[in-house]
Structure 1
Amino acid sequence: MTSGVLAIDQGTTNTKALLIDASGAIVARASVPAAVTHPQPGWAEQSGEAIWQSVQAAVGECLAARSDIKLASIGISNQRESVLIWDRQTGAALGPCVTWQCRRSAERLMPLRRPEVEKLVTERTGLGLDPLFPAAKIGWLLDNIPGARAAAEAGKLCAGTVDSWLLFKLTGGKFHATDYSNASRTQLFDIHRLRWDDELGRLFDVPLGILPDALPSDGTFGVTSPVGAIPDRVTIGAIMGDSHAALYGHGIRAPGAVKATYGTGSSLMTLTERPVPSRNGLSTTIAWGAAGKVAYALEGNISVSGQAAAFATAMLGLRDESALTQLAQTVETSDGVVFVPALAGLGAPHWRADVRGLFMGMSLSTKPAHLARATLEAIALQIYDVFAAMQADCGGTLSALSTDGGASRNDLLMQIQADILQRPVRRSRLAELSAIGTGSMAGFATGLWGEEHARALSGAEADVFAPTTDSVQRDRLLTAWRAAIDQAIAGVPQTARRQARQNE
């Protein structure tokens, strides 16, 4: 019997499990869907119990495929900023898991939108006020679930992000903990002093006693209790938020490179030597805590990335997104057409929720193929904007981009990205970078392999796309993109602008 690591990646739409043997080979994998519901416009939620059931199902399928492997450790990566509360005694979830996409806590943030408050929150957490983050969501849950606030004050409740919920269930309720990366996304955690902050707790009306212990990402997270296919007394050796785990999964351990995940939206992250306050619309965050050190990062989140291709595919009446790419390949340029995919507002580095999408530059010579190519360029141009903001904040040259996620499988998009960035783009051939990242750390933390082995596991195979276009064509595209962004922002109706100013 050989040793191995089980990596659990609990995402918004599915739960994945990987079994990695002691040589670093992925020997089994499983994926189970997870449902998201939208009970009101702008709301998004899941069932905490259903999330837990999906984890058990994925783990059971994965372990059944290789019963000859003895688990040395378990690593967990998770959808970030999704939060729930549960009964400390029974372990039953109270109310829904409010996901990162949910905007229900927007009203709770309105009274906090004062310069002195925003300054305090940003300085201590690295994050701007936004319903994305869990602090206001926890307050909402405590006030909207009958009896929840009184139970919380009496010490009868737990609150946490999805990783802490899974840890609680995996350990039979013995451990209520999270890691620094997830804690740093809550707006309740001081990323400099590495602890929950009393003043932030009062600000968001969250009693800190219900929050999990915050530990390094390779901390001691306890051992499993047997349930279903999950064996007894397996060490849980690593926890990281999914974007952080993907950065680790790419093998990036030092500043200089950027990771981009191309999903429905996109997350870009780059390591920094210290917490770097952003002057260009990015978030300062903790990448992970490992081997006795805390790694910091800058992050930029794009609202609509790969989803732009799905949108254009439907608008053009194409059968699927591969047909969109095939159509885009029939022309060498977008012929002056620019698409601003602000279909859910503009994320980093612009942060304009009031802006809506538009196509610009069309003429009588415009063909559907130009719209298709402009869509792929728009995805890459948004990545460029965040990459450029990171470079400005870091004050130096960022050498390369490492990519993962569904849309990164598109060769044409990756080549366009390399041409726009004028940097090599390195696409991992491994699909489950978040699971690989947390599995790699878990194996290292529990002594199954060394750091060099872990790094080799993370960054072993990749496709590299080198820039090919000339600078004149690239500069022309960037000029047109900037003009389109300006036009999209200028086109916001006056009433929407007034509302946006009130919300700032």
Structure 2
Amino acid sequence: MNEERYILALDQSTSGTKALVVNSKGQIFQKSGLSHKQYYPQAGWVEHDPVEIYENVKKLLNEVVQTAEISDENLAVLAITNQRETIVVWDKETGIPVYNAIVWQCRRTSDSCKALKENGYENMIHAKTGLTADPYFSASKIKWIFDHVEGVKEKAWEGKLLVGTIDSWLIWNLTGGMVHATDYTNASRTLLFNIHSLGWDQELLDLFEIPSSMLPEVKSSNDSFGVTKDENLPFRDLVISGVIGDSQGALFGQKCFEPGMAKATYGTGTSVMMHTGELVKSQNGLVTSIAWGIDGRVDYALEGIIHCTGDVIKWIKDQLELIDDMSEVEKLATSIQDNEGVYLVPAFVGLGAPYWSPYTRAAIIGMSRNTGKAHIVRAGLESIAYQVNDCIELLVNESNIPIKKVNVDGGATSNQFLMQFQADMLGIDISASQVSELSSMGSAYLAGLGVGIWKSIEEINTLNPNHDVYQPLMPKNLRNKYLDGWKETIKSIVVS
């Protein structure tokens, strides 16, 4: 193993982009980040500017390479992990997007997805993709662009446009327009990819009226995705590998290599995912996806998707202005002994698993004259744990595989109140990696496998072993009281 071979890892997430340098010991050597603007043209609509995202990528790659003082000879590979389902359509000649990126959170296609269900397509979609006909996924977003942006549908059918998730957009730009590709994990989130045959599905393409000529080639996560050609980068001809959607990246970064191992990634929303190995179908609100593809072989995962977790605390700070800084959250939450019956349901863009209710809206229930900002902040934190608990319960029931602990990652894992409350609600251990950038590490591990920095998964398993473990301490009767209150609250507001 050569310690002087470094991996560059890009993490393009919902709120921003990070660039990291990882060494051959699996240690983060350097990192930098930039946020990008969130666009909300209408209630429930969310967009990003894909050009801004790529400009940030170039700035960050230049910054980390120069700061780390790494020469071209020491760079082995560029890895990419990305927000999934967010879609970009662009002109294959000019490289200019025809519209902003429509973000996974966006609910503008709720009515069209409802129509698909009413017209009897849900079972076919679920059977082929493992997903549900929900605006969360990519296909209905593409069709919306076709139907609402003048001239786009015609240009698409003339073969003049390309479409892809954010990884494809970045790869195309990084390679100077030479490569249009994605990996199995991102493809499996589009509603257009057959997770059994491992190819784009013509029946689904016909349903959404999308030409196959637009779509990227689908590869294994550790495959080569071409080499960099952009002259504005501090390197040329750097191999791109380790391409994986962020939630699956975190599953790999958490080393959930065996069936039954599970993780929760706390970000803007939360992905609760279990590695199942073989394909397991869900009938009750989970989705089946590809966990990763390595050397042409795929493993599968079951996932519970929560639309809003970390974003509820951002809302409390930015919109309610109850706090000035995120550092105040834990102090406020622990300043009261109990939630006093106050529950916050952060359904700002509907509810994901296990409810899949795009029309439900956020609510705060159970306030009294004594309710203050500490109760609201605590209720916001608790809502994260309750939603994760809902998903874990369902994962166990659907897979018939017991979960003995949950590996957690993401920014919220630094909040000790939340982590302890999460362990108490689940009744099992929570293991928080001391490396916070788990999606990035998952893509870096896969890229390292791709170029031979590490020879096997067994070798990766020995890296970064340190975790903080939270054990359940709450009496069972109190746990049940909290959970019963949450379930009654949800029942009172869910719109079917």
- Classify the TM-score, shorter chain: over 0.9
Map 1:260-339; keep pairs closer than 5 Å. Answer: 260-312=264-316, 315=320, 317-339=322-344
Task: Verify the 8 A CA contact 2:182 2:217 in the aligned structure 1.
Answer: yes
Against the structure 1 CA distance between its residues 65 and 211, is the aligned structure 2 distance closer, same or farther, given a 3 Å change threshold? same
Q: Is the partner of 2:164 in helix, strand or coil?
A: strand
Q: What amino acid is the match of 1:387?
A: I
1:33-89: per-residue Cα shift (whole Å, max 9, x none)? 222222333322222222211111110001112333421111111111111122223
Shift of 1:365: 6.4
Alpha-carbon offset, residue 415 of structure 1: 0.4
1:332-383 Cα shifts (integer Å, max 9, x gaps): 3324443333343322111223333444445566665455433332221111
In the alignment, the residues of structure 2 paired with residue 385 and residue 105 of structure 1 have an alpha-carbon distance, to the nearest angstrom, of 25
- Equivalent residue, structure 2, for 1:433: 438
Q: Matches of 2:359 and 2:95 in 1, distance apart? A: 40
Which residue, out of 477, 482, 486, partners 1:472? 477
- Distance in 2, matches of 1:31 and 1:365, equals 41
- Secondary structure in 1 matching 2:39: coil
TM-score normalised over the length of structure 2: 0.93
Distance 1:105 1:230, change over 3 A: farther
Q: What is the match of residue 460 of structure 1? A: 465
Question: What does 1:332-351 correspond to in 2, within 5 Å?
Answer: 332-351=337-356
Q: Provide closer, same or farther for how the CA distance between residues 318 and 5 of structure 1 changes in structure 2, counting only shifts above 3 A.
A: closer
* Pair 1:323–1:66, CA change in 2 (3 A): closer
**2:377 maps to 1:375:** no
Q: Secondary structure at the match of 1:94?
A: coil
1:20 aligns with 2:25: no
Q: Deviations over 1:449-485 (max 9, x none)?
A: 233342334x432211111122122122222222222
Q: Is 1:136–2:134 an aligned residue pair?
A: no
1:106–1:355 distance in 2 versus 1, CA, 3 Å: closer
* AA partner of residue 195 (structure 1): G
Count how many residue pairs are aligned between Structure 1 and Structure 2. 490
Amino acid at match of 2:467: A
1:285 CA drift (Å): 0.8
Instruction: Tell me the amino acid that sits aligned with residue 408 of structure 1.
Output: T
Mean Cα displacement is larger for which, 472-481 or 419-428? 472-481
Q: Could you tell me how far 1:183 is from its partner in structure 2? A: 0.3
In structure 1, which of residues 168, 172, 188 is the aligned counterpart of residue 172 of structure 2? Answer: 168
Q: How does 1:101-500 map to 2 (within 5 A)?
A: 101-114=105-118, 116-312=120-316, 315=320, 317-362=322-367, 369-450=374-455, 451-457=457-463, 459-489=464-494
SS where residue 86 of structure 1 aligns? strand
Deviation of residue 315 (structure 1)? 4.7
Cα distance in 1 for residues equivalent to 2:447 and 2:421 = 36
Q: Do the aligned residues in 2 keep the contact of 1:2 with 1:68 (CA within 8 Å)?
A: no
Q: CA deviation at 1:312?
A: 4.6
What secondary structure does 2:10 align onto?
strand
Query: Aligned residue for 1:494?
Result: none
What is the rounded CA distance, in whole Å, between the counterparts of 2:120 and 2:246 in structure 1?
32
Aligned residue among 29, 32, 35 for 1:30: 32
**Does structure 2 retain, via aligned residues, the 8 Å contact 1:256–1:400?**
no
Secondary structure (helix, strand or coil) at the match of 1:339 reads strand
Over 3 Å counting, the alpha-carbon distance change for 1:36 and 1:367 in structure 2 is closer
- Paired letter, 1:322: S
Secondary structure of 1:296 counterpart = strand
Going from structure 1 to structure 2, the CA distance change for 1:335 and 1:95 (only over 3 Å counts) comes to closer
- Between the aligned residues of both structures, percent identity stands at 39
Unpaired runs of 5+ residues, structure 1, are 490-496
Any stretches of 5+ residues in structure 2 without a counterpart? none
* TM-score (normalizing by structure 1): 0.91
Contact in 2 for aligned 1:251/1:456 (Cα 8 Å): no
- Cα distance, 1:238 vs structure 2: 1.6
Q: Quick one: which amino acid aligns to residue 22 of structure 2?
A: I
Q: Which AA in structure 2 matches 1:410? A: N
AA matched with 2:258: A
Q: Give the letter for the 2:426 counterpart.
A: L
SS in 2 for 1:113: helix
Instruction: Report the CA distance shift for 1:58/1:354 in structure 2 as closer, same or farther (over 3 A).
Output: same
Structure 1 residues 396 and 207: CA distance shift in structure 2, 3 A: same
Distance 1:97 1:376, change over 3 A: closer
In structure 2, the CA distance between the partners of 1:229 and 1:341, relative to structure 1 (3 Å rule), is closer
Deviation at 1:282, TM superposition (A): 1.0
**In structure 2, what is the Cα distance between the partners aligned to 1:110 and 1:308?**
26
Q: Specify the code of the residue in structure 2 equivalent to 1:28.
A: Q
Offset, 1:259 = 1.2
Are 2:94 and 1:90 aligned? yes
| RMSD (Å) for aligned C-alpha atoms | 2.2
Which of 5, 8, 11 is residue 6 of structure 1 equivalent to?
8
For residues 6-39 of structure 1, the C-alpha deviation after alignment (integer angstroms, 9 at most, x for no partner) is 1111112211111112232222111122222223
Deviations, residues 134-164 of structure 1 (Å, cap 9, x unaligned): 1122222234333332322222221111111
How far apart are the structure 2 equivalents of 1:436 and 1:442? 10
CA distance in 1, matches of 2:61, 2:257: 29
SS of the equivalent of 1:93 reads coil
